[in-house]
């Protein structure tokens, strides 16, 4: 479960999401893909293999400003522990990026840091318990910036995924117009797929729709991965056999076959990701149209 719209600046679906998702999937295999991890996350902050792969290939430097301003009288132990895990996650993200991600953390409450948090779009909370708390972050690359206005423990299982998507969105702004025709004039089949997944477009929030699309994306990737994993396992076994008993030519052929399967796998996931991006953008278009018609 993610924070509600009032507690988080949820970026609206945008064309750059496709670029983000595609970069996220570069070099990843479904056997290590984050989708196969449990739905709930333990206290470990070890990154998924696909996260590490995408962070190692960022096209531009990214800065993250993490605000963990939690006065003892206003923030309980659970929130403090969650903030610590977020800090560890961000440090791992920085390490996996090979220097492309630069992290700055603000942990001491005070006028200067609270003002900076507000300027970066991080919102105050727990005002009824004492001094204001701030727990959020701002991600930027060049002129592109996104803010997570308030992080909450309920969001933790999806935080790594959402964090990497945001990093990739700000780092890869180019080529966003490639899907414009599909968005401007969506096919009847695409609209029908959205209506099947979300029958009541007008009364479904963007956040809820994003979660539904995300869940459907996970399901499709898992289904596609089940068959591909068998093929990959067989191809990997052929490589092992060729290494042990085959000729150089047989080994080369086995390695080439494995590489082709992995490329096919990545292409398949990219197609699913492209459709996800289209659905999210067209959903927003349909929702806006319904809102205008209701006026």
Inter-CA distances, 292 with 10, 189, 268, 285, Å = 22, 23, 37, 11
3-state class (DSSP) for residue 133: strand
Q: In this predicted structure, what is the pLDDT of residue 71? A: 94
Backbone angles phi, psi at 152, to 5 degrees: -130, 150
Q: In this predicted structure, what is the pLDDT of residue 274? A: 72
pTM check: above 0.85: no
Q: In this predicted structure, what is the pLDDT of residue 4? A: 39
Handedness of CA 145, 166, 183, 295 (dihedral sign): negative
Closest CA to 138 of 67, 83, 55: 67
Strands 101-106 and 124-125: unpaired
Q: In this predicted structure, what is the pLDDT of residue 104? A: 97
Q: In this predicted structure, what is the pLDDT of residue 295? A: 58
Kindly report each contact of residues 140-143 with a partner whose C-beta sits within 8 Å and lies 24 or more positions away, as own/partner: 140/62, 140/63, 140/65, 140/170, 141/60, 141/61, 141/62, 141/63, 141/170, 141/171, 142/60, 142/170, 142/173
Distance CA 63, CA 104 (A): 8
What residue ranges do the domains of the chain occupy?
A: 16-174, 179-293
Q: In this predicted structure, what is the pLDDT of residue 125? A: 94
Q: Give the H or E element holding residue 220.
A: helix 206-245
Q: In this predicted structure, what is the pLDDT of residue 2? A: 39
Closest CA to 54 of 177, 163, 178, 216: 163
Q: In this predicted structure, what is the pLDDT of residue 168? A: 87
Q: In this predicted structure, what is the pLDDT of residue 90? A: 96
Q: What's the CATH class of domain 16-174?
A: alpha beta
Distance CA 295, CA 290 (A): 9
Contact 121, 10 (CB under 8 A): no
pLDDT in tens, the chain (295 residues): 433 333 333 333 333 344 444 444 443 333 333 333 333 333 455 788 878 888 888 889 999 999 999 998 899 999 999 999 999 999 999 999 999 999 999 999 989 999 999 999 999 999 999 999 999 999 999 989 999 999 998 888 788 888 988 898 898 765 444 445 656 678 888 889 999 999 998 898 877 887 888 788 777 877 777 777 888 888 889 989 989 998 989 989 988 888 888 777 767 776 777 777 788 888 888 888 888 776 5
Tokens of 54: 């995408």
Contact 28, 168 (CB under 8 A): no
């Amino acid at each position: 479960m993610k924070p509600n719209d009032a507690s988080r600046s949820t970026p609206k679906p945008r064309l750059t999401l496709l670029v983000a998702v595609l970069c996220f999937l570069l070099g990843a295999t479904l056997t290590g893909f984050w989708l196969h991890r449990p739905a709930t996350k333990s206290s470990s902050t070890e990154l998924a293999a696909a996260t590490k792969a995408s962070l190692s290939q960022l096209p531009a430097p990214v800065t993250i400003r993490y605000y963990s301003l939690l006065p003892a009288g206003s923030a309980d132990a659970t929130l403090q522990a969650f903030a610590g895990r977020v800090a560890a996650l961000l440090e791992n993200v920085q390490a996996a990026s090979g220097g492309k991600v630069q992290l700055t953390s603000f942990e001491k409450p005070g006028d200067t840091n609270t003002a900076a948090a507000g300027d970066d779009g991080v919102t105050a909370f727990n005002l009824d318990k004492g001094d204001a708390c701030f727990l959020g972050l701002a991600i930027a690359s060049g002129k592109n910036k996104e803010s997570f206005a308030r992080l909450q423990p309920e969001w933790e299982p999806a935080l790594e995924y959402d964090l990497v998507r945001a990093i990739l969105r700000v780092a890869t702004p180019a080529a966003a117009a490639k899907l414009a025709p599909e968005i401007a004039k969506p096919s009847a089949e695409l609209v029908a797929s959205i209506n099947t997944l979300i029958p009541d477009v007008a009364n479904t929030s963007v956040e809820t729709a994003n979660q539904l699309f995300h869940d459907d994306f996970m399901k499709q990737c898992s289904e596609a991965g089940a068959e591909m994993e068998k093929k990959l396992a067989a191809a990997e076994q052929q490589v092992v056999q060729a290494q042990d008993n085959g000729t150089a030519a047989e080994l080369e052929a086995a390695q080439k076959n494995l590489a082709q399967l992995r490329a096919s796998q990545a292409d398949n996931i990219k197609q699913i990701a492209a459709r996800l991006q289209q659905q999210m953008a067209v959903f927003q278009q349909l929702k806006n149209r319904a809102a205008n018609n209701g006026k």
